[in-house]
Amino acid sequence: QKEVEQDPGPLSVPEGAIVSLNCTYSNSAFQYFMWYRQYSRKGPELLMYTYSSGNKEDGRFTAQVDKSSKYISLFIRDSQPSDSATYLCAMSEVGRDDKIIFGKGTRLHILP
């Protein structure tokens, strides 16, 4: 079983819809959970990060972590065509030398 699993998509939804992106993981020691957005031909940019469990909201974006299920989600409300990108989940243990493990990314298309 891979450390981090993420459905590659593509996921196509109409503009204005709520988007749900998910990752599962196997390492119960992960404490940092991040979501990156990567536009075509660009590097990843950090969208949100959470520490341990719970929810975090930033504008139209909400990140959720369920450590009991080893499952994280990113919700996008009122999706826009500009949200079309690849979304990468990432996670890490807390040690200074622990590296960040990335999912493969989900390609998202918002249809106008």
Partner 1 sequence: SAVISQKPSRDICQRGTSLTIQCQVDSQVTMMFWYRQQPGQSLTLIATANQGSEATYESGFVIDKFPISRPNLTFSTLTVSNMSPEDSSIYLCSVEGLGKETQYFGPGTRLLVL
Binding site for partner 1 (CB under 8 A): 4, 8, 32, 34, 36, 41-46, 49, 51, 88, 90, 92, 96, 98-105
Choose between 49 and 75: whose C-beta lies nearer to partner 1. 49
Choose between 17 and 49: whose C-beta lies nearer to partner 1. 49
Strands 19-25 and 4-5 turn out to be antiparallel
Which token pair is 102?
């990335």
Choose between 17 and 101: whose C-beta lies nearer to partner 1. 101
Cis peptide before 10 (omega within 30 of 0): yes
How far from chain centre, in Å, is Cα 106? 8
Residue 43 C-beta: closest distance to partner 1, Å: 4
